[in-house]
Structure 1
Amino acid sequence: VGKIMIGDYSFLPCTPAGVMELIKSTGTDIAGKECVVIGRSNIVGKPQAMLLLHNNGTVTICHSKTKDLKEVCQRADILVAAVGRPKMITADYIKEGAVVIDVGMDRDENGKLCGDVDFEDCKDKASFITPVPGGVGPMTIAMLMRNTLTAGKAHHGIE
C-alpha cells in the first residue's frame, strides 16, 4: 500500500485495483472528477483514494465522523462506498449520473447478501452502479490473478 503513495504500481491491492478497472470500463475519465470514498481502511479506503488521486481525480475521503456526509456524497461524480453498513447509501446521497461503486459486503435484515448501497433505490439515478454480489468481488479475484501472474513472471525473469 505504501508503494502506491510514491507511484509504484507493481502490485496493487486487489479490491482497489478492481474498482479502478470497473471505473475505467465505464469510459469515465477520472481526471478532474469529484471522487468520494466512504471508508478509510488501510485495505480499501486509503489505497482507493490514492489510486483515484494518481489518476487526477479530486478526492475526498469520508468516514463515520464526516459532517454532512450526504451533502459531500451528492457532489461526487464517482462514489466508492466501503463503509460496512448495509444499504446505507440511498438515492438521496448520489448525484444524478454518478458512477457508484459498492465495495460493501453486508447482510440485510433478512440475512441476504447486500452492499453498502441500496442498489434498487439508486440504480435509476446512477449512470453506472455495481451490484452486490457480482460487482467488485469478482474483480477483486481477477486482480489477485493478475498479481499472481505478475509475481510468477517476475520470479522467472519474464517481462
Structure 2
Amino acid sequence: MATATIIDGKDFAARLRAAIAVQVADLKKAHHLTPGLAVVLVGDDLASQVYVRNKGIQAQEAGMNSFDHRLPTTVTAAELLEKINQLNQDPAVHGILVQLPLPKHIDADAVIDAIAVAKDVDGFHPYNAGLLAVGGAGMVPCTPVGCLMLLKHQLGKLAGLRAVVLGRSNIVGKPMAALLLREHCTVTIAHSRTHDLAEECRRADIVIAAVGKPQMVKGDWLKPGATVIDVGINRITAPDGKNRLVGDVDFDSAVQVAGAITPVPGGVGPMTIACLLLNTLTAACRQRGIPVPEVQPAAE
C-alpha cells in the first residue's frame, strides 16, 4: 500500500531561516538596521525555557538582536505591563513576544493588548486579528503562517480546495481559516460541538488538526490523497513506558490514506520559530518605512 509524502517542516524551516538571514544582512548593509526581537518569559516552566532559548539562538543565527527578559512567577501584572511599555518605547526592539501561558494572577488578554500593534510579532493583538479578518496587512500568528507555507510548497495553488480546520482558537484555528479563505479555499471550522466530525474531515482536500487531543484524527477520517497538517504537540506514555511526542493525528493510520502529511515532531513546530523571525523582519522594515522584502526559502 502506498504511503503519504512526508512534509519535512524541519528542512523547510532551515531553508527559510537561511533566506531570512540573507535579507537581514542586506538590511544591515543598506539601511544600518538590525531587527531586534524581545522575548519576555515569566516563571520557570521548563518547556517554555527551552522554547525561548531556541528562539534566541535562531534569532542570533539569522543576524538579529535577541533580548531575553526573564521575570519571576511572583511578578505583578503592573510590573509586567511596565516592562512591556519599556519595550514598546525601545527603538532597538522591533518585535515583542510574551511567552504563554502566564501565571493565573495575570490577565493574558491585558498583556497582549499592551503590546504595541506594530511590534506584535505573535499576531495576537485584537487589532492585528481584525486586519487579518478583513484582508488587511497586519501581523499574522506564526503557526498558521508556517502551515500555509508548507501547504503552498506541497500543493501550489490552493484555490477551490476544501479545507477543514479542526480547532477554533485565536492562536491557530481562526487565523488559519482566514488565511485559507485568502487563498480561495472553501473552509470549514470544526470543533468539539461539530456533529460527525469524521465525516466533515472525509470531505476535505486539506485537514489542519489543532485541537490538542493526542492521535484523535484517524486514517479512516481522511479523504484518500488529502494533505494533512498536524499542529498538535502532545506528550504521551507509550506502551513501553517511555514518553514520546505525538500529534493530534494518528500518524500510523493516516499515513496510509493521506497524500501528504506533516510528522510530529519535525513538521509544523520548526516553522513557528522561523515565521516568528520572518514577522520580526517584516516589523523592522515597516517601522522604518522600508519595503518589506519577499523572502523565498533557499532551494532544496
TM-score category, normalised to shorter length:
over 0.9
CA-CA distance at 1:148 after TM superposition? 0.5
Q: Which digits, 9 at most, give the CA deviation of each residue in 1:103-122, with x for residues without a partner?
A: 00111233311100111211
Deviations 1:99-141 (A, max 9, x none): 0000001112333111001112111211110011111111111
1:136 to 253, 263, 268: 268
Shift of 1:154: 1.9
Structure 2 matches for 1:80-159, cutoff 5 A?
Answer: 80-110=208-238, 111-159=243-291
Distance 1:18 1:58 in 2: 20
Q: Distance in 2 between matches of 1:8 and 1:138?
A: 26
Query: Map of 1:27-46 to 2, 5 A cutoff?
Result: 27-46=155-174
Instruction: Say how many residue pairs are matched.
Output: 159
Equivalent residue of 1:108, what SS? strand
TM-superposed deviation, 1:157: 2.7
Aligned CA RMSD, in angstroms, stands at 1.1
Equivalent in the alignment of 1:7:
135
**Residue deviations 1:61-86 (CA, integer Å, cap 9, x gap):** 00001000000100010000001100
User: Which among 131, 136, 144 is matched to residue 16 of structure 1?
Assistant: 144
Unaligned runs of 5+ in 2: 1-128, 292-300
Secondary structure (helix, strand or coil) at the match of 1:107 reads strand
Relative to its length, the structure with more helix (as a share) is: 2
Match 1:52 to one of 180, 184, 197? 180
Amino acid at match of 1:4: L
The change in CA–CA distance for 1:146 and 1:87 in structure 2 (over 3 A counts) is: same
Which of 138-147 and 26-35 deviates more?
26-35
The percentage of counterpart residues that share the same residue type is 54
Once the two structures are superposed, residues 83-102 of structure 1 have per-residue CA deviations (whole angstroms, 9 ceiling, x without a partner) of 11000111011110000000
Alignment partners' CA distance in 2, 1:154 and 1:144 = 15
Distance 2:163 2:258 in 1: 14
TM-score by length of 1: 0.95
- Indicate the residue corresponding to 2:295 in structure 1: none
Q: State the alpha-carbon separation in 2 of the partners of residues 136 and 8 from structure 1.
A: 25
CA–CA separation in structure 1 for the residues paired with 2:232 and 2:141:
16
Cα pair 2:220 2:257 within 8 Å, conserved:
no
C-alpha distance in 2 between matches for 1:73 and 1:109? 27
Q: Which amino acid letter does the alignment assign opposite residue 251 of structure 2?
A: F
**TM-score normalised over the length of structure 2:** 0.52
